[in-house]
Chain A
């Protein structure tokens, strides 16, 4: 077993597997599942104009996010990653199953902390609120991104490169975590068997994460493994029926409004707050923070 796990692998094979799991998942699972969700909405007589426009807005925000991601990726990320990998990293790891599995685990762990930060600091929530602002919960919501959503993960994946992991493997692992996360955005699947619900993030756990019910706020940040939430006391099971959305609803399907509402709310808050230090703290303190002397 150990011999198998530590056997050297060819990059061409690894990229091929990730191509099937990451890139092609859109074709063989995400789109068919979304169609199934639309059929279900129609059957339940919930397929209305608001839901369609919401889904369209989700896809448009994804387009904008993707454009930013490509520009960042081409201009900076890959170069920064490779510079760090070649200059300030631990000895480079061989490409084998153990390296791949541990890289995915680390990418998942990094995702947990990055996601937690997006919820718990002002600038993080200003961009991530876009993802949570939909009052619906389906696969298209997984593609609802904010303008800075591509930047935050860099801070958390660079340390993985410093630990000796190939930058391309790190990027592929991050996408893999993201694809797994996408599949959790559904109301079709109820609770799964207990061992699965205990170890893995599931649609049930992720519904809780999208809940605006008070007890569901800032819970279940996990990507693939829910054990991170259990370890760091942010786990909450799905008990009460989930009400999706944010505490201060957006009430708009205008893609531009959807994409920038978090940033514009942050700017409004900055205008209200007095003093340079307090303005700076707005960026790094929790989203509901206000200076006491105001």
Chain B
């Protein structure tokens, strides 16, 4: 086979493979940019119309009832007490932020407002999202499942390489 044929076939192979990778990466980043742009529009609307709380066009009573304050009890080696979360609707997702810690004796402390849970899909009964867990001072984002027990309780479950748990979230 001629050297020129070897060269052109090689270049064509590389361009084809790398082209696919860059196209996919570009398309995926473009989606992220569009989504972030939509999110920023939503947050602007909130600040302009503070009474509304959230954009009217974004309202969905079948799912939005999950918005609000929730309490989770933990009894683990690192922490024995409760964490209070505030679930907000931001763009397409529901995000849960920590706002208060309470130890087993009832002493409370203001939390840092960490985004701990992102519910990416929710139909009013079940949902899926990403939950942040901490293990040996290292944070991990794990896929999780949401299952509503009733309108004031839901179960959050995850399984991360054999490290699994089910948390019960109670409305405040």
Residue of B9, B21, B161 near A16 (CB, 8 A) is B161
Contact digits for A76-111, partner B, Cβ 8 Å, 1 yes 0 no? 000000000000001101101011001101100100
Q: Is B29 an interface position by the 8 A CB rule?
A: yes
Check B36 for interface membership: any CB of A closer than 8 A: no
Is B13 close to A, CB under 8 A?
Answer: yes
Closest partner residue, chain B, to A108 (CB atom): B17
| A98:B161 contact, CB within 8 angstroms | no
Question: Can you list, as one digit per residue, whether each of A162-184 has a CB less than 8 Å from chain B (1) or not (0)?
Answer: 01110000000000000000000
Contact of A94 (CB < 8 Å), options: B9, B18, B25:
B25
A103 to B27, CA, bound (A): 18
CB distance from A33 to the nearest CB of B (A): 27
Cβ-defined contact, B17 with A109, below 8 A: yes
Would you give the shortest CB distance from B37 to chain A, in whole angstroms?
18
CB-based contact A5/B24 at 8 Å: yes
A6 and B13 within 8 A (CB): no
B24: contacting residue among A10, A96, A103, CB under 8 A: A96
Does B18 lie within 8 Å of A233, measured CB to CB? no
Known A90-B22, A232-B6; contact A6-B14, beta-carbon cutoff 8 A: no
Main secondary structure of the interface of B (DSSP, over half): helix
Q: Which residue of B lies closest to A165 (CB)?
A: B21
Asked whether A12 is an interface residue with its Cβ less than 8 Å from the other chain, the reply is yes
A231: CB under 8 A from chain B?
Answer: yes
Q: How far is the CA of A8 from the CA of B143 in the complex (A)?
A: 13
CB distance from A215 to the nearest CB of B (A): 17
CB A20 to nearest CB in B, in angstroms, measures 11
A residues near B28, Cβ cutoff 8 Å: 6, 8, 94, 96
* B25 cross-chain contacts in A, Cβ below 8 A: 6, 91, 93-94, 96, 98-99, 164
Q: How far is the CA of A5 from the CA of B21 in the complex (A)?
A: 10
- The distance from the CB of A279 to the nearest CB of chain B, in whole angstroms, is 24
**Which residue of chain A is the closest to B9 with respect to CB atoms?**
A231
Q: Who on chain B is nearest to A103 by CB?
A: B21
* CB neighbours of B21 from chain A (8 A): 93, 98-99, 102-103, 164-165
B20 nearest CB across to chain A (Å): 6
B residues neighboring A (CB under 8 Å): 1, 6, 9-10, 13-14, 17-18, 20-22, 24-25, 27-29, 140-141, 161
**6 interchain pairs, CB-CB under 8 A:** A94-B28, A94-B29, A96-B28, A98-B25, A102-B20, A164-B22
Q: What 9 new A-B contacts, CB under 8 Å, besides A2-B24, A99-B21, A105-B17? A: A6-B25, A8-B28, A91-B22, A91-B25, A94-B28, A96-B24, A96-B28, A102-B18, A106-B18
